[in-house]
Amino acid sequence: MTAQMVENFLQAAVAGLLVGAIYGLMCVALALIFGVMRVINFAQGDFMMLGMYAAYYFFAALGVQAALGSTLGPYVAAVLAGPVLFCVGYVVHKTLIGQVSGTRAQVEGDGHFAQLILTLGISLILQSAGLIAFGSILVSVRTPLSSSAWEIGPLWGDLISVFVNKSRGISAIISVATIVALTVLIGRSRLGKSLRAAADNPEAATYMGIDVDQAHRIAFALGIGITAIAGGLLATNYPFSPFVGLEYVIIMYAGVVLGGLGSIIGPFWGGMTIGLVQQLSTLVLPTQLQNTAIFVVFLLIVFFMPQGFFGRSVERS
């Protein structure tokens, strides 16, 4: 094994870890919604797209760039996208999704079918409305950091050095910080307790005086808000258009299935795995097969570890 190969491997691994952290954040957001509400949200990727545009407009049009500059601005804009999309998620749940889920869902039978097609419809609306509002041209949030890197090394006597893209590095740090904050919120706060209770046993939670529909609404809004932050972070490195959601919703679901729904950290590792597989596969496979590699690894893991990495869920196998 030559030094060049080791360097390529390390470089790909670092890239995988960094993008994996953002994927992990997306997966955590999705798992929060799914774990509490049991609703498969097909529009998750499109809400993330809205988050990306929210960050973009915060940065370019609403003065964040003017106030904070291009170095710090994109990250502040990304974080600001969170609360905005939280409100969007709250309203969407209140007016639409809450009508066919939670305590209003049919107890048995085909209740979950309605939720599926509803989110498919929302996804279609968001994409097309996005096309009208934002146009189909690829845009991105520009920061000088995305073209500069920290150098680790040289290691092993000048043979190997690894570059960490500054923008991706900061995005990864913000992702992890968001997850830590969420963990504390869910684990420690009263709100977190009511969310966990509503997820665990909606009926019992109702008897304990918890408004389960409200808990679902908060979980949904929180999930959308966090996805928006992930989207905003992604926007600093990857150009996007209104149709970007489709690409990522698959990554999100794959990560969630891998990580399982038992905890917050499980889906994070799921997303991280996807990021690593995606980047490492470029070492041996043509770029076009990057996504095929993700799905193959995904299927293998699912079949050989049907419980997921951290899953303790009875319903999967």
Partner 1 sequence: MPALRSLTPFFVFAGAFAVIALAVTNSYYQLMMTLVLVWATFGLSWNVLSGYTGLVSFGHAAFFGIGAYTTALGQIYFDLTPWLLIPVAAVFGAVAGLLIGFPTFRLRGVYFALSMLAYPLALLYVFEWLGYQEVTLPMKRETPAAYMQFSDHRIYTLLALALLSVIVLVTRMVEQSRFGMALLSIKQNEAAAEAAGIDTLKWKLYAVTLSGAIAGAVGAFYAVVLLVVTPVSVFGMLVSAQALTVTLFGGVGTVWGPVIGAAILIPTAEILHAELGHIVPGIQNVIYGLAIVVLILVAPEGMFWKARDFAYRRWPHLVAAPPDATVHQSATCGPPLAAHAPVPSSAGAPLLSVRGLSVSFGGLKAVQDVSFDAARGTILGIIGPNGAGKTTVFNLLTGFLRPDAGQIVFDGRNVTRRKPHELCAAGIGRTFQIMRPFARMSVADNVVVGAYVRASTDAEARRLAADAMARVGLADYAHRIAGELTTRELRLMELARALASQPILLLLDETLAGLGHGEADELIAIIRRLAHAGITIVIIEHTMQAMVRLVDRFVVLDHGAVLVEGKPETVTRDPRVIEAYLGKKWTAYAQS
Outline where DSSP puts E strands in the chain. 149-155, 160-165
Q: Are 268 and 28 in contact (CB under 8 A)?
A: yes
As measured in angstroms, the least distance from the Cβ of 288 to partner 1 is 4
Identify which of residues 170 and 301 has a Cβ nearer to partner 1 in the complex. Answer: 301
Residue in 114, 173, 176, 265 binding partner 1, rule: CB under 8 A: 114
As measured in angstroms, the least distance from the Cβ of 128 to partner 1 is 4
∠ CA(32), CA(178), CA(91), 5° rounding?
50
**Gap between the Cα atoms of 153 and 162, Å rounded:** 7
Q: Does 317 bind partner 1 (CB under 8 A)?
A: yes
Q: Which region, left, alpha or beta, applies to residue 140 given φ > 0 means left and ψ of -120 to 50 means alpha?
A: beta
Kindly give, in sequence order, each residue whose CB lies less than 8 Å from that of residue 306, ignoring residues fewer than 6 positions away.
316, 317
**Gap between the Cα atoms of 73 and 78, Å rounded:** 9
* Choices 104-112, 197-205, 223-231, 269-277 (CB under 8 A): range interacting with partner 1: 104-112
Q: Are 47 and 225 in contact (CB under 8 A)?
A: no
Binding mask 228-267 for partner 1 (x = CB under 8 A): ------------------x---x--xx-xx----------
Q: Does 125 bind partner 1 (CB under 8 A)?
A: yes
> What residues numbered 277-296 form the site for partner 1, per CB under 8 A?
286, 288-292, 295-296
Q: Are 37 and 219 in contact (CB under 8 A)?
A: yes
Q: Does 91 bind partner 1 (CB under 8 A)?
A: no
Q: Does 66 bind partner 1 (CB under 8 A)?
A: no
Binding mask 199-228 for partner 1 (x = CB under 8 A): ------------------------------
Identify which of residues 99 and 206 has a Cβ nearer to partner 1 in the complex. Answer: 99
* Choices 74-82, 126-134, 165-173, 227-235 (CB under 8 A): range interacting with partner 1: 126-134
Binding mask 36-55 for partner 1 (x = CB under 8 A): --x-x-x-------------
Q: Does 139 bind partner 1 (CB under 8 A)?
A: no
Q: Which residues bind partner 1 (CB under 8 A)?
A: 34, 38, 40, 42, 96, 99-100, 106, 108-114, 116-118, 120-125, 127-129, 131-132, 246, 250, 253-254, 256-257, 286, 288-292, 295-296, 298-299, 302-303, 306, 315-317
